[in-house]
């Protein structure tokens, strides 16, 4: 098992459920598993985190991908910038009432 905090995210690499796989957990949430070494999984998890970046984008990513304390959760469970609006399409959908405006 490997543990590392990367850019504020807690990354844990564990043995996966299926034979030969390793599982990546970020901030306590299982993100993915594949057949590779723990070192390779950790390196990929870091690239994933680099890809997600620091800007909170609830439309694309769950809260587990961000460092704790850098976001808040909208009423529907998506991460959003602290004090900002949620970017998730569910939270930005037109309500039926809008059709009559």
33 HSE (CA, 13 A, CB side): 12
The one segment of 3-11, 24-32, 46-54, 66-74 that binds Zn ion by CB under 5 A: 66-74
91: contact with Zn ion by CB under 5 A: yes
- Residues binding Zn ion: what is the number (CB under 5 A)? 6
Task: Give yes or no for a contact between 46 and 24, defined as CB atoms under 8 angstroms apart.
Answer: no
The one segment of 2-10, 23-31, 45-53, 67-75 that binds Zn ion by CB under 5 A: 67-75
79: contact with Zn ion by CB under 5 A: no
89: contact with Zn ion by CB under 5 A: no
CA distance 42 to 5: 11
**Residue 21 burial (CB < 10 Å; 0-12/13-18/19+)?**
middle
Point out which residues bind Zn ion (CB under 5 A): 74, 76, 78, 86, 88, 91
């Amino acid at each position: 098992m490997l543990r590392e905090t990367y850019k504020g995210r807690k990354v844990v690499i564990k043995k996966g459920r299926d034979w030969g796989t390793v599982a990546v957990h970020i901030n306590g949430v299982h993100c993915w598993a594949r057949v590779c070494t723990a070192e390779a999984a950790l390196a990929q998890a870091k690239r994933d985190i680099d890809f997600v970046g620091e800007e909170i984008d609830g439309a694309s990513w769950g809260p587990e991908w961000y460092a704790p304390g850098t976001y808040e959760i909208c009423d529907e469970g998506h991460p959003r910038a602290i004090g900002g609006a949620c970017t998730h399409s569910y939270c930005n959908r037109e309500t039926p009432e809008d059709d009559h405006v």
